[in-house]
Amino acid sequence: MDSENRVVVLIDMDCFYCQVEEKLNPDLKGKPIAVVQYNPWKGGGIIAVNYVARAMGVTRHMRGDEAKEKCPEIQLPSVPCQRGKADITKYRDAGKDVARVLQKYTSLLERASIDEAYLDITASVQERLRSLNIHSVTSNMMPNTFALGYESIQELVSDVHNYGGDCMEFDQEHASRLLVGAVIVSEIRAAVYEETGYQCSAGIAHNKILAKLVCGMNKPNKQTVLPKHSINLLYKTLSIKKVKHLGGKFGDIVCETLKIKLMAELQKYTEKELQSRFDEKNGTWLYNIARGIDLEPVQARFNPKSIGCCKQFRGKSALTTLESLKKWLKDLGDEIEDRLEKDAVENNRCPKQMVVSFSTQMLDGRDTSSSRSYNFGVEDELCGELFSAKALELLLDSAEGCKPRDDEADRKLKAPIKFLGISVGKFEDNDNKKTKKIKDYFSAGTSKGTSDVKENIKPIGHTSERTTNDKIAVGKEYIINKFFQQSEEKLKSNKELSNTEKPILESSLDKQESFFAKFLNNTSKEMDVKNKIDRSTTPVCHVVTRGNETSNDTDYSGSTIDDEINKSVAMFEENPEDVDRVSDMRKLLNSTILQNEEIRDSFHESENKNPNHKNVPDNNNVETIQCSDCGKCITLNMFDIHADYHLALKLREEERQQLRKEKEKTNTVVDKTKKPEEKTKKQDIPKIEVKSIANFFVKVDDSAPSKMCSECGKKVPIEKFVEHLDFHEAQKLSREINRPVTTSNSREFIGPVTNTNSRPETNSAKRKRKSTSPIKKPKVQCKSIDLFFRQ
């Protein structure tokens, strides 16, 4: 596909976190709100502001308290905290809900962030163009749509109907595509709102950069089209810094070296000129984007490539003891475990690598960041304990600066840790050989399975080998069994109910507030795909309810799962236990899981063969519908089974969480830390008196005689040059402290570590510097580094 003839869309949720909070608490609707995080200090940091509050002058970069001053009636829902850090699970889940809706409509979807996705809808547009006369497109097919260069979308519609009118550059085909694209995007956005309740904005253009650029031009709940012939008009006033990739330091460099500010001014330079001022790649990229050209394809990617969590420890909260380091690593590792477990269930994959990142305070007060990676071995059980233990190991092995002082009783770290992060990545699909075998066992045997069925079932993903709590498992199955049984009885005695919108089991279970009644109702509601499934075909589907959309307020956080199970079990006490039914139920759950693994396998296989058509609903096949739980497309006749599969998985996840809770209670923290004394003895790093960074980085005065530093490429006045070189030496030494012990000799100096407050010139030179330039060791010119230390 010619990249100039695409229809690319950026969907961006409007103040997403606020919308999520409004949906969860409808009382907030219409009121000014801002979502904050960590409210104890000055009312918390604002990370999202809804449009009511924006109208009253509330912005990001404000603290909660400031917002209250501006707008006393503002509501400030807070991001929940878990394990001492912000927990954005609910927003992540909400973002996934949205993306699943988008996925139904588009063949190519790239999730760009928690609330943004690029779509390539070229194929849909062309199909629509075949079946539709462009002259029948009217502006009321695309409400809330704007087009750059036009007062109203109607004018663009007219232009297309009139083949461009008097506009010379008008490209009829292109404009038609974008117009039809706008119609489709209207439909998509309507579907998003319909199915999730969230509003979004969209940009529609022929590439990602432009779609992104115009997406924000009309908000909220609006969409903007950028036809090619309006690009120059836009660029006449568009700041270079507004363009994606140019919003940071590179953008500054471009503006400063060319002494320009606007995109239109970029067009004056030839490709070669740009390449000579920047590098070849960046030069070409700038040359192209100045002409509205961006070849970057929309990648088909729904799932994140890595899962990570991190936390800063600013100011006084910097970690200084081994104990606090371990505590935070444990929390981070546990969060990874939780998220990984969810990911394994949904995506049948597991990570092959973990990375621990950290930054420590240097002796001059600045931060230096590093990361170390570890490739998992087959013997590793991917759990929080492993992540935190390995992270600690990597930290202590590789970062001398983090080792605890052995001369102090309180085991203080030698350098305060300002940042910690663990992430896992390099995902690979799980092999399904084991489960295939189990499947054979099921399909070959009769329904009279033996009691060892359970032991043969391995959980999906990596989370195997846990001691299963039979009581809980059987209790749950028993309840579900009863639940289904009652639903069937209810159905028989109440046939007319089966076609109504009312929950079938309202009278028997809902009133008693049973955990499982709520759980099943909620679960099944999620699985219910509107108007598409006849749910009366299999016994299990009887539990599905319709309507009652307002009941998303169910909250189990108050009571433990045990409590709920006991409550639920008590409800059935009057009936004798039916052992056979329990075992049947267990088989049903397990076989459901297995059948769906088959379906999933076939999906993964087709994805591998045809990566560009990942999870795409086949438009020609009406038998395919998309599961609202996982986004996968399932054939109609398999859907009931598939939905049950999710139910089974959810139940099993409940079990695991319960087990983990218990484990956590009984387990004392395992200290796998090696004793610091056993490590290679490195001489104590002498203390450096903190020297202001201003002493190293001096202002550039072009008129004064200066010399280019071969280390950082920066111009330095001659009288400051020696001191400047000393800075690099000091930095080098500081960095040396964080080298792996094993490779601490004769390292190549890399350069300034962080560019906090670094000037663009620094980066400009750095960018231009090729690896060919040999790095001279200016030892002879340096004052002794010892002068910076005081014994």
Partner DNA sequence: CATGGTCGGGAC
Partner DNA sequence: GTCCCGAC
CA 751 from chain centre, in angstroms, equals: 31
Binding residues for DNA restricted to 228-247, rule: CB under 7 A: 243-247
The residues near 324 (Cβ < 8 Å, ≥ 6 apart) are none
**Strand 624-626 vs strand 349-361: parallel, antiparallel, or unpaired?**
unpaired
Among 281, 448, 675, 699, binds DNA (CB under 7 A): 281
Cβ proximity to DNA: between 373 and 566 the closer is: 373
Whole-angstrom Cα distance, residue 374 to residue 384? 15
Whole-angstrom Cα distance, residue 575 to residue 565? 16
Cβ proximity to DNA: between 675 and 770 the closer is: 770
Query: How many CB atoms within 10 Å of residue 114?
Result: 18
Min. distance of Cβ 281 from DNA in angstroms?
5
Cβ proximity to DNA: between 311 and 586 the closer is: 311
**Which positions are annotated as active-site residues?**
116
Note whether 749 binds DNA by CB under 7 A. no
For tokens 């004052």, what's the residue?
A: 783
Cβ proximity to DNA: between 32 and 251 the closer is: 251
Binding residues for DNA restricted to 77-96, rule: CB under 7 A: 85-86, 88, 92
CB 37 within 8 A of CB 116: no
Note whether 588 binds DNA by CB under 7 A. no
Binding residues for DNA restricted to 750-779, rule: CB under 7 A: 750, 752-755, 758, 763, 767, 769-771
Farthest CA pair distance, the chain? 97
| DSSP for residue 71 | -
Among 106, 223, 361, 370, binds DNA (CB under 7 A): 370
Min. distance of Cβ 17 from DNA in angstroms?
9
| DSSP for residue 689 | -
Among 5, 373, 508, 552, binds DNA (CB under 7 A): 373
Q: Which stretch binds DNA (CB under 7 A): 218-226, 278-286, 440-448, 450-458?
A: 278-286
Cβ proximity to DNA: between 39 and 538 the closer is: 39
Q: Which stretch binds DNA (CB under 7 A): 128-136, 195-203, 264-272, 748-756?
A: 748-756
Min. distance of Cβ 772 from DNA in angstroms?
10
Min. distance of Cβ 308 from DNA in angstroms?
4
Min. distance of Cβ 168 from DNA in angstroms?
32
The first and second tokens of residue 179, run together, are 């117009």
Q: What DSSP string describes 327-365? A: HHHHHHHHHHHHHHHHHHHHH-EEEEEEEEEEEEE-TTS
Q: Which stretch binds DNA (CB under 7 A): 366-374, 516-524, 527-535, 673-681?
A: 366-374
Cβ proximity to DNA: between 200 and 543 the closer is: 200
Burial readout 697-707 (b: 16 or more C-beta within 10 A, e: otherwise):
bbeeeeeeebe
Note whether 612 binds DNA by CB under 7 A. no
Integer-rounded Cα radius of gyration of the chain: 30
Cβ proximity to DNA: between 48 and 527 the closer is: 48
Residue 358 β-bridge partners: 370, 420
Cβ proximity to DNA: between 283 and 617 the closer is: 283
For tokens 């420590």, what's the residue?
A: 360
Binding residues for DNA restricted to 251-270, rule: CB under 7 A: 251
Q: Which stretch binds DNA (CB under 7 A): 232-240, 276-284, 504-512, 532-540?
A: 276-284
Note whether 37 binds DNA by CB under 7 A. yes
- Express the helix, strand and coil content of the chain in percent, nearest 5 each: 50, 15, 40
Whole-angstrom Cα distance, residue 438 to residue 450? 13
CB 36 within 8 A of CB 46: yes
Min. distance of Cβ 421 from DNA in angstroms?
7
Binding residues for DNA restricted to 105-134, rule: CB under 7 A: 112-116
Binding residues for DNA restricted to 304-333, rule: CB under 7 A: 304-312, 314-317
Note whether 731 binds DNA by CB under 7 A. no
Length of the chain: 791
List the x/- string, 382-411, binding to DNA by CB under 7 A: ----------------x-------------
Note whether 219 binds DNA by CB under 7 A. no
Whole-angstrom Cα distance, residue 122 to residue 147? 19
Query: How many CB atoms within 10 Å of residue 108?
Result: 23
Whole-angstrom Cα distance, residue 455 to residue 473? 13
Min. distance of Cβ 37 from DNA in angstroms?
6
Min. distance of Cβ 644 from DNA in angstroms?
29
For tokens 């038998």, what's the residue?
A: 623
Min. distance of Cβ 214 from DNA in angstroms?
12
Note whether 353 binds DNA by CB under 7 A. yes
Note whether 248 binds DNA by CB under 7 A. yes
Binding residues for DNA restricted to 560-579, rule: CB under 7 A: none
Note whether 349 binds DNA by CB under 7 A. no
Q: What DSSP string describes 269-311? A: S-HHHHHHHS-HHHHHHHHHHTTT---PPPP-B-S-SEEEEEE
Query: How many CB atoms within 10 Å of residue 503?
Result: 23
Cβ proximity to DNA: between 575 and 755 the closer is: 755
For tokens 């899962």, what's the residue?
A: 307
| DSSP for residue 702 | T
